[in-house]
Structure 1
Amino acid sequence: MTIPTDRQRLADRLTLGSELLHLSRRDVEDLHLTRDTVLELTLQALVEHGHRRYEMPAKIGVHPYDNVFYHAMPAYLPGPGIVGAKWIECYPDNPRRFGLPQTTGLLVLNDVASGVPLAVMDAAWLTAMRTPAVTVLAAAALHPGATTFGMFGCGVQGREHVRYAALALPGLETVYVDDTDVAAADALIAQLRPELGVRIVKGESAEAVTKSAEVLSSATVILREPLAVVKDEWVTAGQTIVPCDLNTFWDLRTSHRADKYLVDSPSNSP
């Protein structure tokens, strides 16, 4: 059994087994983890995964409504001695119906040595950071010389994808963005143009963005029936597609004819 080297530091701050740390979203954000740090930590976790030094069963879920999912995602990394689970849900209509985020969730961390819970924390910010970190690390490895990046979806995930792309793709010059909500695309551009040293352009259409970018990503809604907004005939050889919304946004024919199709794991067991 691997016991984390910082376990004693935790034990000095918490009475393990009788005290539990709770971190709100604001608490998590106030840790001031930089995006460079998130990229490094995410890369370390991916390296552990690539060397099969992990235990992570296939996620399970429930679906109270047709377009809603809850996912439970436990994982264990023996190297750093980290074990925990994320419980996350997605309600696409939340912003319109209730003024609430589309995605919310919790992360529970446990003490590997004893099993007792250490912390319960909001997972929304963590998800908003970790998801684009994986996307751009994959893009940097698969298409390191990319100068153009296309982003479909300009919400929380879309904004973070653009930020992380500017960090991880050193040759990036232009980002094309597209959203069915024109105001969301305008807001992304207004917020990020002054912040990032790249050109950000609102695409004329989904087709125009697809045909303009070497690397493409999407962070839209996840639905039972694919939207297939991006048509197969718009995609050409040499493009890299890294979707975050399963198969919702893309024509399934593109997946069928891709020369390389990379997945997290070739099986459900490490």
Structure 2
Amino acid sequence: MTRLLFLNEAEVAALAPPAPKLADALADAFKLRAAGKIAMPTKTKLTTVGNDTFFHAMPALVPGMAAGVKWVGGAAGNSARGLPHINALLVLSDPQSGRPLAVMEANHLTGLRTAGLTLLAARYLAKTDASRLAVIGCGLQAWTHLEALASEFSLEQVAIYGRRLEAVNVFAEKASERGIAPRLCKEADEAITDADIVVSSIPEQPGLKPFLRADRLAPGAFAAMVDLGRSWRSDCLRGFDQTFTDDNQQSLTLRASNPTFEAADFTGDLGDLATGRVAGRVDADARIAFLFPGVALADIVIGRMLLEAAELR
């Protein structure tokens, strides 16, 4: 029997595909999803007493790649414990035989796949000459997004807002090393008002009140709400001219539990954009949101790419 592959976080980072290649693969997968050829049940959620800790099971079967499930656990108090907010594993199986193929630590994988989703959306929804990025939150997601977006957009400046000065300074130093000028902001509004692309990635935390307003964005801005929109005021979503998501079916299930998703009127999803069923940006001044939960098919796609890269070592 073939040995079961295990990849740790360092190996995942070392084997990671370039963001444009990942976005291309995701586009193909969303076309299959739009054609009804990908099975992806709604994620299952478990919470502990008091809702202090959550767990998600995210399964999908992508033809020609793999069946699999990502198991995600997270807790608002993890920062105080010195742990990442979210911790994950990905399990891949052969879709023909059911044989397990690989187990991967999936924290960095999640950052890469989420940035790949945003890059794919940005191809259709951001201005092609976007040069000013703003990040709200300075963790792993902010960095993977900067790397992914810089691979296809000529980013010159990144405005940075975060609540931990140490994280802000580390991110600013990394951006400088990447050749992108950092601008540290004391207020979130200061960061987003002249940005072409905004990435919000604020982790869930007790007592967090939404503080970002769509009407503070510059005309033509594209906002990627990596944080499920928790940092955005739902009463201000009307400030967006269009709102897209990654998968309509998955996002509609969140309306009962997430006020931002409840308030959103989705124009379309990545399957609609990839197949051309719905046009992307048609107005240079339109403010466009990408409000998305992140879907399992994307984890399977990058997991398969990592598996193939590992087999070539």
Q: TM-score range by the shorter chain?
A: 0.7 to 0.9
> SS at 2:103's partner residue?
strand
Take 2:245 and 2:110, find their aligned partners in 1: how far apart are those partners?
A: 19
- 1:96 corresponds to: 80
Map 1:125-140 to 2 at 5 A. 125-140=108-123
Return the index of the structure with the highest Cα Rg: 1
**Is 1:181 the equivalent of 2:159?**
no
Match of 1:156 among 140, 151, 154: 140
Which structure 1 segments of 5+ residues have no match? 1-14
Match of 1:208 among 173, 181, 190: 190
Take 2:112 and 2:186, find their aligned partners in 1: how far apart are those partners?
A: 28
- Conservation of the 8 A alpha-carbon contact between 2:159 and 2:185: yes
Give the TM-score normalised by structure 2.
Answer: 0.72
- Conservation of the 8 A alpha-carbon contact between 2:194 and 2:217: no
Would the alpha carbon gap of residues 258 and 52 (structure 1) be closer, same or farther in structure 2, given more than 3 Å must change? farther
1:136 positional shift:
2.3
1:37 positional shift:
3.6
Give the TM-score normalised by structure 1.
Answer: 0.82
Match of 1:25 among 9, 20, 27: 9
- Conservation of the 8 A alpha-carbon contact between 1:67 and 1:222: no
- 2:92 corresponds to: 109
1:95 positional shift:
2.7
1:233 positional shift:
4.2
1:122-154 CA distance string (max 9 Å, x none): 111211211112112212320123221111111
RCO higher in structure (CA 8 A, sep ≥6) = 2
Take 2:238 and 2:53, find their aligned partners in 1: how far apart are those partners?
A: 26
1:32 positional shift:
5.1
> SS at 1:158's partner residue?
helix
> SS at 2:242's partner residue?
coil
> SS at 1:193's partner residue?
helix
1:51 positional shift:
4.2
1:5-53 CA distance string (max 9 Å, x none): xxxxxxxxxx15xx53222223323435344443443343334334443
Large movers: runs of 4+ above 6 Å: none
- Conservation of the 8 A alpha-carbon contact between 2:132 and 2:158: yes
1:114 positional shift:
1.1
- Conservation of the 8 A alpha-carbon contact between 2:195 and 2:218: no
Which structure 2 segments of 5+ residues have no match? 253-270, 272-313
> SS at 1:61's partner residue?
strand
- Conservation of the 8 A alpha-carbon contact between 1:39 and 1:133: yes
Would the alpha carbon gap of residues 214 and 123 (structure 1) be closer, same or farther in structure 2, given more than 3 Å must change? same
Map 1:189-228 to 2 at 5 A. 189-195=172-178, 197-223=179-205, 227-228=209-210
> SS at 2:151's partner residue?
helix
